[in-house]
């Protein structure tokens, strides 16, 4: 799965927002290929944001997407999901479930780690099921 972005020349550097958007696009593409249904993207409330809310086989899955590019000198994308982020995603998921009246569904928290090259093409995608 390689997607070329023509607006980015080789000399320009991707912004953090662009990396995030490209990572989320790659994650959604991957999830759809695996028969997940994307319910919401970038769902926000006071406690935070959930990148992707998906469903599959009657389960609601809250997915944190992390994207990195370059040499990996700052660690892998999945390593950047710390305890504070896990707590924030759990709290936000709780608000979502209450607001949507979905309190009786099974839920799961996944992480999708996307490595991008300097042009924004997906180099690798790692879907960590039940990450936390």
Residue pLDDT, tens place only, 66-79: 998 876 566 778 87
Task: Give a yes or no: residue 56 inside a domain.
Answer: yes
Q: Which of residues 16 and 98 earns the better pLDDT score?
A: 98
Mean pLDDT of 101-129: 93
CATH number of the domain residue 30 falls in: 3.40.1350.10
Helix (H) or strand (E) holding 86: helix 83-100
Mean pLDDT of 92-118: 94
* Mean pLDDT taken over the chain: 88
Task: Give a yes or no: residue 121 inside a domain.
Answer: yes
| Domain around 122 | 16-128
How many structural domains is the chain composed of?
1
Task: Give a yes or no: residue 35 inside a domain.
Answer: yes
Cα 120 to the center of its chain, rounded Å: 16
- Residue 8's pLDDT is 42
pTM: 0.85
Structure tokens at 1: 């799965």
- Residue 1's pLDDT is 47
Structure tokens at 106: 């099974």
Structure tokens at 123: 């180099």
């Amino acid at each position: 799965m390689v997607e070329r972005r023509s607006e980015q020349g080789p000399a320009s550097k991707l912004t953090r927002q662009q990396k995030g958007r490209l990572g989320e696009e790659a994650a959604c593409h991957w999830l759809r290929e695996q028969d997940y249904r994307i319910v919401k993207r970038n769902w926000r409330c006071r406690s935070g944001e959930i990148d992707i809310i998906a469903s599959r086989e009657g389960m609601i899955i809250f997915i944190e997407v992390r994207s990195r590019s370059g040499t990996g000198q700052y660690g892998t994308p999945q390593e950047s999901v710390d305890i504070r982020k896990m707590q924030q995603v759990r709290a936000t998921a709780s608000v979502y479930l209450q607001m949507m009246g979905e309190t009786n569904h099974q839920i799961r928290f996944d992480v999708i780690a996307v490595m991008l090259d300097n042009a924004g093409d997906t180099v690798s995608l790692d879907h960590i099921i039940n990450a936390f």
